[in-house]
A and B are shown apart, each in its own frame.
Chain A
Amino acid sequence: MPRIVVDVMPKPEILDPQGKAIVGALPRLGFTSFSSVRQGKRFELTVDGEVTEEILAQARDAAATLLSNPVIEDVVNVEVVEA
């Protein structure tokens, strides 16, 4: 069954404590090539049947209203992945 993948990230200007903690830990383990980490969320919405434009629009709507908090997060990607 096809799935719609929604990626949500903290807004660029918003502090991301999670990313900050991880970027601090990386060099301690020898991973020194990464200057910044931001931690987001991935949602997978399973669809019974074909993903129509209408369903995709619904997913976008859900992403903007429920899956993300528009005050502090952006929906950065909504895409269809065939199973």
Chain B
Amino acid sequence: MSTETTKKFNIDTVANAEKTPDTELPWAGLGLKQNEFDDILKVLGRRPTGAELAMYSVMWSEHCSYKSSKNHLRQFGEKVTPEMKKDMLVGIGENAGVTNLGDGWAVTFKIESHNSPSFVEPYQGAATGIGGIVRDIISMGARPVAVMDPLRFGAIDHPDTARVMHGAVAGIGGYGNSLGLPNIGGEMVFDAVYQGNPLVNALAVGVMRHEDIRLANASGKGNKVVLFGARTGGDGIGGASVLASESFDDTKPSKRPAVQVGDPFAEKVLIECCLELFKGSLVEGIQDLGAAGISCATSELASNGDGGMAVELTSVLLRDPTLTPGEILMSESQERMMAVVTPENVAAFEAVMDKWAVEYAWLGEVTDSGRLIITWEGEVIVDVDPRTVAHDGPVYDRPFARPDWQDAVQADLFTGSVQDAGRPAAPAQLAAAVTELVASPNMCSKAWITNQYDRYVGGNTAMAFPDDAGVVRVDEESGLGVALATDANGRYTYLDPYHGAQLALAEAYRNVATSGAVPMAVSDCLNFGSPEDPDVMWQLAEAIRGLSDACMVLGIPVTGGNVSLYNQTGTTPIHPSPVVAVLGKLDDVARRTPSGWREDGQAIYLLGTTAVELDGSEWANMRGHLGGLPPKVDLDAERALGEILINASRDGMVDSAHDLSEGGLAAALVESSLRYGVGARIALQDVMDRDGVDLFTALFSETQGRAVVGVPRSEEVRFTDMCTARGFAHTRIGVVDADSGTLAINGVDELALDALREAHEGTLPKYFG
């Protein structure tokens, strides 16, 4: 193909740097602060070369170094009990954590953000977000088996929302569908706070045999370092440091980076090619290239290994021959991997590359110098201790303080507010309210989105949207599988960051348990505003403290994740949005519990008690109110509910289960009815009497720790005995009515399922075509 000879640049070598200590360097333009540049001078004992400056600037960016959050994130590693460690095979710090599934199987999963790129170019931003997280999973030695996409966009009726929506959904579909990975769930939230800062998070999960676990390290002197996959171009140069580290500012178009364009076909080939490498045990260490590209891959591989690394940069295959060494080091071209291969495996490695027609270049080898040396035509342009690049970046103790407005927000209760006036009470009003709720932007059917994703490919999808969790089979012999759910509620977290983050975890945990799976591990994507704003920093600190405390109570560890900061427009940050993913295990996916009831005459039970908790609710949101305190967190109750749902699934005591969250009981009843188009007759008097709430509250309150289950008549005694023995509140609220075609709730005008479906499914097509 291209036969360009190496371009001649004015190469800034280490020798030159030593001779010219006073050369002015554009460190500020690369996003570095004065103190950070001073640190680089101290670490090197001289001025950095241009290439070194490029490396440090991207690796010390917020995006790569977690410099603002590191001090707080430590809690995820510290607040860990032996119970939480027992199934953790690889913890935080690697590309993704690994959890033991039993029978020799392991699972790895991680959630990441691709927020800013998805605002600039929604299609490519969302597409490359999938590509990046999938490569993280491959680099652990796993076969990726599913993806999920939690999305948060601006107001549904804002013209720019359609641009982001169409682009991002098409990008996720266009890229994800081409990889052969089923998309099994996610979220879609509309809120004006995300107008200029849409959140596009992506989760991938992969499975492997224990012996196939791979780590990103370069060990063994003389082993070869190879870069393979796509060629290196000018994609996203500076994206890592500039884009994610500073808020996006319309007035400075010069800061718009080159957009990374994804090539899903290249990624699919890369997946198969890597799996063949793993199968033949042909790589010692492997690392995907994401943010900060070769800078990140070389410095992380070298610093996690037992020696050093020497790399000749002119060996890198280029798409754009005009790239300078610094640009090559920073390029974020997609679909690339770096691996360490023993000399005896070189030929076998090349045979796999040739079979899949994947380009590769041998860049250098592992040394015992303890240094990362990068040369350009033999001249040394980088000579650093790789740890100083990859791990010893700056760490900030950013000031944080409870915002002075927080008290006023929390005192502004919905109940009794102006917006609460005219609360529905009459049967016709309540019926209209239920219909309005399930047609509202956040509660409406997301089928318009998920029907653009392939949920079948692979043949192992046992459950997907719109059920509470996505379920994928791992072992075809035994039926062993995993369940996954992601959740976040920015409004709850805005009202109370500590408890709001815990509520996100509680809901994801509940969703996984509702499907019948035993929750095992957590991955989180912390989307917040600027850490330089003490209010935002307090939200972040509180959310991390809340999450790590809650993980201890629930007994499940955080195994990985990502922090996305500077999600703000001007000085207005997004709602703090910790998106929490929980992974669970099912011994046999055939036992999973779907969210809808099917069989006529089955008893419907409400588990848990209901309090007056409308602050921050979807109903309050629909009425334009945001204030008060979010629903109370009771993690012991969540755990007890989870155990009931898991046991009931395992022992065949329930045929359907749906958790109560946003939209409360009203949303759950409608969703369980519409799931299979089967109606029900419901009476809530017992709940209202026991809990002392009115019908509206019983339907719309968002009290946590609740679920609705469908119980076969033959199992009713066994099921209620179990709940009684565990002291968990349970009330029979109705029966499945297969022939009526209606959802009949005492005190609410009858709701025809056809009309409910039209309302529920019509919203997204109405806005997005």
By a beta-carbon cutoff of 8 Å, the part of chain A in contact with chain B is 10, 12-17, 20-21, 23-24, 35-36, 69, 71-72
The answer to whether A15 touches B357 (Cβ under 8 A) is: no
Whose C-beta in chain A lies nearest to the C-beta of B237?
A13
Which one, B121, B124, B258, B264, contacts A13 given CB within 8 A?
B258
Is B263 located at the chain interface by the 8 A CB criterion? Answer: yes
Interface centre among A10, A14, A20 (most CB of B within 10 A): A14
CA distance A24 to B356 in the complex (A): 12
CA distance A20 to B265 in the complex (A): 10
The answer to whether B1 touches A72 (Cβ under 8 A) is: no
Can you give 26 contacting A-B residue pairs, CB < 8 Å? A12-B320, A13-B233, A13-B234, A13-B320, A14-B233, A14-B259, A15-B233, A15-B235, A15-B261, A15-B263, A15-B319, A15-B333, A15-B334, A17-B262, A17-B264, A17-B265, A23-B1, A24-B357, A35-B1, A35-B2, A36-B1, A71-B121, A71-B256, A71-B259, A72-B124, A72-B259
Question: With a CB–CB cut-off of 8 A, which chain A residues contact B235?
Answer: 14-15
Per the 8 Å Cβ criterion, residues 1-60 of B in contact with A are 1-2
By a beta-carbon cutoff of 8 Å, the part of chain B in contact with chain A is 1-2, 120-121, 124, 230, 233-235, 256, 258-266, 319-320, 333-334, 357
The answer to whether B120 touches A71 (Cβ under 8 A) is: yes
Name the distance in Å between B254's Cβ and chain A's nearest Cβ. 14
Name the distance in Å between B114's Cβ and chain A's nearest Cβ. 15
CA distance A71 to B263 in the complex (A): 17
Name the distance in Å between B580's Cβ and chain A's nearest Cβ. 32
The answer to whether B258 touches A14 (Cβ under 8 A) is: yes
CA distance A36 to B319 in the complex (A): 11
Name the distance in Å between B166's Cβ and chain A's nearest Cβ. 12
Name the distance in Å between B119's Cβ and chain A's nearest Cβ. 11
The answer to whether B263 touches A20 (Cβ under 8 A) is: yes
Name the distance in Å between A18's Cβ and chain B's nearest Cβ. 9
| Given A15-B230, A71-B120, A72-B261, 20 more pairs with CB closer than 8 A | A12-B320, A13-B233, A13-B234, A14-B235, A14-B258, A14-B261, A15-B235, A15-B263, A17-B261, A17-B262, A17-B263, A17-B264, A17-B265, A17-B266, A20-B263, A35-B1, A36-B2, A71-B256, A71-B259, A72-B121
Name the distance in Å between A70's Cβ and chain B's nearest Cβ. 10
CA distance A14 to B319 in the complex (A): 9
Interface centre among B261, B264, B265, B334 (most CB of A within 10 A): B261
CA distance A15 to B234 in the complex (A): 9
Name the distance in Å between A38's Cβ and chain B's nearest Cβ. 12
Whose C-beta in chain A lies nearest to the C-beta of B120?
A71
Main secondary structure of the interface of A (DSSP, over half): loop
Question: With a CB–CB cut-off of 8 A, which chain A residues contact B320?
Answer: 12-13
Interface centre among B121, B230, B259, B266 (most CB of A within 10 A): B259
Name the distance in Å between A45's Cβ and chain B's nearest Cβ. 23
Whose C-beta in chain A lies nearest to the C-beta of B125?
A71
Question: With a CB–CB cut-off of 8 A, which chain B residues contact A10?
Answer: 261
Name the distance in Å between A39's Cβ and chain B's nearest Cβ. 13
Interface centre among A13, A14, A15 (most CB of B within 10 A): A15
| Count of A-B contacts judged by CB separation below 8 Å | 45
Which one, B234, B256, B261, B265, contacts A21 given CB within 8 A?
B265
Name the distance in Å between A63's Cβ and chain B's nearest Cβ. 18
Question: With a CB–CB cut-off of 8 A, which chain B residues contact A72?
Answer: 121, 124, 259, 261
CA distance A48 to B57 in the complex (A): 56
Question: With a CB–CB cut-off of 8 A, which chain B residues contact A36?
Answer: 1-2
Which 9 A/B pairs are nearest by Cβ-Cβ distance? A17-B263, A15-B261, A13-B234, A71-B121, A71-B259, A14-B261, A72-B259, A15-B233, A13-B320
CA distance A5 to B259 in the complex (A): 27
Whose C-beta in chain B lies nearest to the C-beta of A17?
B263
Interface centre among B120, B233, B256, B333 (most CB of A within 10 A): B233
Question: With a CB–CB cut-off of 8 A, which chain A residues contact B120?
Answer: 71
CA distance A66 to B762 in the complex (A): 28
Question: With a CB–CB cut-off of 8 A, which chain B residues contact A69?
Answer: 121
Whose C-beta in chain B lies nearest to the C-beta of A28?
B357
Question: With a CB–CB cut-off of 8 A, which chain B residues contact A14?
Answer: 233, 235, 258-259, 261
Question: With a CB–CB cut-off of 8 A, which chain A residues contact B264?
Answer: 17
CA distance A52 to B265 in the complex (A): 44
Question: With a CB–CB cut-off of 8 A, which chain B residues contact A15?
Answer: 230, 233, 235, 260-261, 263, 319, 333-334
Whose C-beta in chain A lies nearest to the C-beta of B319?
A15
Name the distance in Å between B238's Cβ and chain A's nearest Cβ. 13
Question: With a CB–CB cut-off of 8 A, which chain A residues contact B260?
Answer: 15
Question: With a CB–CB cut-off of 8 A, which chain B residues contact A13?
Answer: 233-234, 258, 320
Question: With a CB–CB cut-off of 8 A, which chain B residues contact A35?
Answer: 1-2
CA distance A72 to B262 in the complex (A): 12
Name the distance in Å between B328's Cβ and chain A's nearest Cβ. 14
CA distance A24 to B256 in the complex (A): 32
Question: With a CB–CB cut-off of 8 A, which chain A residues contact B261?
Answer: 10, 14-17, 72
Question: With a CB–CB cut-off of 8 A, which chain A residues contact B233?
Answer: 13-15
Question: With a CB–CB cut-off of 8 A, which chain A residues contact B1?
Answer: 23, 35-36
CA distance A35 to B260 in the complex (A): 23
CA distance A21 to B230 in the complex (A): 12
Question: With a CB–CB cut-off of 8 A, which chain A residues contact B259?
Answer: 14, 71-72
Question: With a CB–CB cut-off of 8 A, which chain B residues contact A12?
Answer: 320
CA distance A46 to B481 in the complex (A): 56
Name the distance in Å between A26's Cβ and chain B's nearest Cβ. 11
CA distance A14 to B230 in the complex (A): 13
Question: With a CB–CB cut-off of 8 A, which chain B residues contact A16?
Answer: 261
Interface centre among A16, A17, A20 (most CB of B within 10 A): A17
CA distance A14 to B320 in the complex (A): 9
Question: With a CB–CB cut-off of 8 A, which chain A residues contact B256?
Answer: 71
CA distance A10 to B234 in the complex (A): 14
Whose C-beta in chain A lies nearest to the C-beta of B1?
A35
Name the distance in Å between A22's Cβ and chain B's nearest Cβ. 12
CA distance A16 to B334 in the complex (A): 12
Whose C-beta in chain A lies nearest to the C-beta of B320?
A13
Question: With a CB–CB cut-off of 8 A, which chain A residues contact B121?
Answer: 69, 71-72
Name the distance in Å between B367's Cβ and chain A's nearest Cβ. 33
Interface centre among A13, A16, A72 (most CB of B within 10 A): A13
CA distance A17 to B270 in the complex (A): 14
CA distance A11 to B216 in the complex (A): 34
Name the distance in Å between A76's Cβ and chain B's nearest Cβ. 18
CA distance A16 to B121 in the complex (A): 16
CA distance A36 to B320 in the complex (A): 12
Question: With a CB–CB cut-off of 8 A, which chain A residues contact B334?
Answer: 15
Whose C-beta in chain A lies nearest to the C-beta of B2?
A35
Whose C-beta in chain B lies nearest to the C-beta of A23?
B1
Name the distance in Å between B134's Cβ and chain A's nearest Cβ. 16
CA distance A81 to B99 in the complex (A): 63
Question: With a CB–CB cut-off of 8 A, which chain A residues contact B258?
Answer: 13-14
CA distance A12 to B233 in the complex (A): 10
Question: With a CB–CB cut-off of 8 A, which chain B residues contact A20?
Answer: 263, 266
Name the distance in Å between B230's Cβ and chain A's nearest Cβ. 7
Question: With a CB–CB cut-off of 8 A, which chain A residues contact B262?
Answer: 17
CA distance A69 to B261 in the complex (A): 13
Whose C-beta in chain B lies nearest to the C-beta of A27?
B1
Name the distance in Å between A11's Cβ and chain B's nearest Cβ. 8
Question: With a CB–CB cut-off of 8 A, which chain A residues contact B333?
Answer: 15
Name the distance in Å between B316's Cβ and chain A's nearest Cβ. 15
Whose C-beta in chain B lies nearest to the C-beta of A16?
B261
